[in-house]
A and B are shown apart, each in its own frame.
Chain A
């Protein structure tokens, strides 16, 4: 597939108007992930209360796929327990390696299927996934 076609309406919308941006008020965990190859940076900010992610936000300096993927992930983890969020991220990471055989754990991520198939751009999609995983693990 021509990756050009991956700029779907959903990806464009999340990229132009990403959800859950900025830093949480009362943040108690943060994590910065950086890809030196392309310069993308994702700064995760969390409020964790009694093992639950009560708020998750991020500041993204990156490409459209990175911004959109972060927005979709953050929209999916608000209010989840830390363990539920980690399980979701693990299943997303697993799916990203075999998108041809499997559907994503959440339909919201189907738009990233062609991007995950590109070795060059896969990291754009997964940077925030790894960042959030690290942030949660830091909180244990």
Chain B
């Protein structure tokens, strides 16, 4: 007979499952890595030359934003996973395993964030190197920042997955949500160059906050403070809480029946 596993162990095993499936999907990994490298070494280099006349180093600015937008994109996958798990009946299996439903919810949300973090860590180190930043403590701090962001995005994705019951509709909404969170932010272009109507929204975007904090760590001439941190923490608190609550309610209430 088997022993009942501990809480931390269960969370780790749930996260491990997400990592195993990610590693087993090399096409996704290769695809996103190639996209990242092309964006960095072709797009950013090119635009940086165009913007050099303005005295603005776009490459440095974009390199951080590219990592932040990549982890945002990966963290959104968790919602699709939930739909797929339901479709394949995997959710029944997962819910029958010896841990509470609330632990399952936490494990899924953290799993989405952790696999994003593991995936972008080499990218973050590459960007730090390209930006001439070599402090391990600073790099570790920047990874914590994007992990926090990814946890909130996972929560947002789970919330949307729970609110939208149709998989096709979810695919469309999640694509739009990803587009909005990355494009209406200062991840890939400065706020000052954005249309005036979008600037207020982008200012309060958690993606902007995460990008600004990491830039302030890596690059000279950039600043961030309590304001960005508060936005980021609020975003995580709201959507991690909402996503967990919605998923928990769906599971407890008979799920996707």
- Report whether chain A binds chain B: no
Interface residues of chain B, those whose CB is within 8 Å of chain A, are none
